[in-house]
Every structure is written in C-alpha cells, then in structure tokens.
Amino acid sequence: MQGRSYGYIRVSSADQNEERQQIALQAKSVPEKNIYIDKRSGRDFDRPQYLQLLKRLRRGDVLYILSIDRLGRNYQEIQQQWQFLTKYKGVDICVIDMPLLDTRLGKDLIGTFIADLVLQVLSFAAQNERENIHERQLQGIEAARVRGVQFRRPPKPLPENFGEMVQKWKEGELNASAAAAACGMPLSTFLYRARQRENPE
C-alpha cells in the first residue's frame, strides 16, 4: 500500500516567510493538512511541530523538505535523524532541491553510497553556515558596542518612596534591610541604586 505524503517547513524566526517552501511542497501534491511548520532555530530537533510530525509518520510514507538545512543545521543530528527516519521508521525522504537526496531512487549499493556522501556534504555545509551566521552576529554586536550602543535592559523605575527610605537609612532611622523591604526591593539592589543615586558616574 502506498504511503502518505508529508511536508516539513522550518524558518528560523517568526518574521521569516515560509511561502517558498510551501509552494515547493504544493508542487509535490503534499496535502496541506500534512504540512508541519516550525518557526525555530535549526540547531537541534526539539521543535514542537517536528515532534508532532514524527508521531504521524509511518513506514512507507514520504517526507518532503525543500532543502537539507530546513531539516536542521547540526551536522551530527541531521545524520542521526536521517538514519532514524529512513532505517528505524522506514520513511522515504525527498530533498526537493537536491534530487540525489531522494531515498526512493537508487536503493542499490552505489545509489545509497552517493546519497550518504551527498548528505554528509550538505549537512556539514548547513552546520558551517549556522556557525558563520552566529559569528557574524557576534561581530555585529561587538561593532555596535564599539559605537557605543548599549545592550543592557533599562533599569526598573524606582518606587515613589525610594528617596525617603534612602534618607531614613542614611540618618539611621531604618537599617538597610528595613529600608529595602519598605521599597519592595532586594537589599543588594537597594544598596546599589542608593549608591548610584549618590554617585551617578
């Protein structure tokens, strides 16, 4: 009996568009109800829709993805997932933009060898690109810091009675713990903000 067709789409963030991947899956006649979409990083496979997809897949089904980096960007985990899907679950995988990565074709020894080799190269490239993206992000952050951009969260506004409690603490009417409690602040925060108030530099 012929298996069902499924599609998996991944984009790295909520503001990225998955339309190109959807069009590619529709061209393969994947039913819309069988398309699973995650808006998550590809660094691991802990993704809610992917995990739901795994529960649905049965032996003989076909999983379509547009490119190998949509499956993931971690070299070792891509290899492990590929083996899990094809060997353990008996699912065929078709990587649309790389015809050599279609497990329905070339199931002889040479075909399997070529597919495995291509998979290793592409999954390595996917991880390498993820690491390059991360490195570019770090360089961008460092460049912004050099320009004086601040990445710290703005401090919470001080409670209305803060000045009064600081004054009472300084004059000995209250100890620091009581003054901090009256402000609803941890002691360390109260002392830090009090010193900061006295010496803004």
> Which residues carry out catalysis?
12
Rounded Cα distance, 149 and 142, in Å:
9
DSSP designation for 66: S
Rounded Cα distance, 183 and 156, in Å:
13
Rounded Cα distance, 118 and 148, in Å:
45
- Side chain identity, residue 51: L
Rg (CA), the chain: 27
Beta bridge partners of 63: 6, 93
Cβ contact 176:191 at 8 Å: yes
Assigned token pair, 112: 């399997």
Sheet of 62-65: strand order equals 35-39, 5-11, 62-65, 92-95
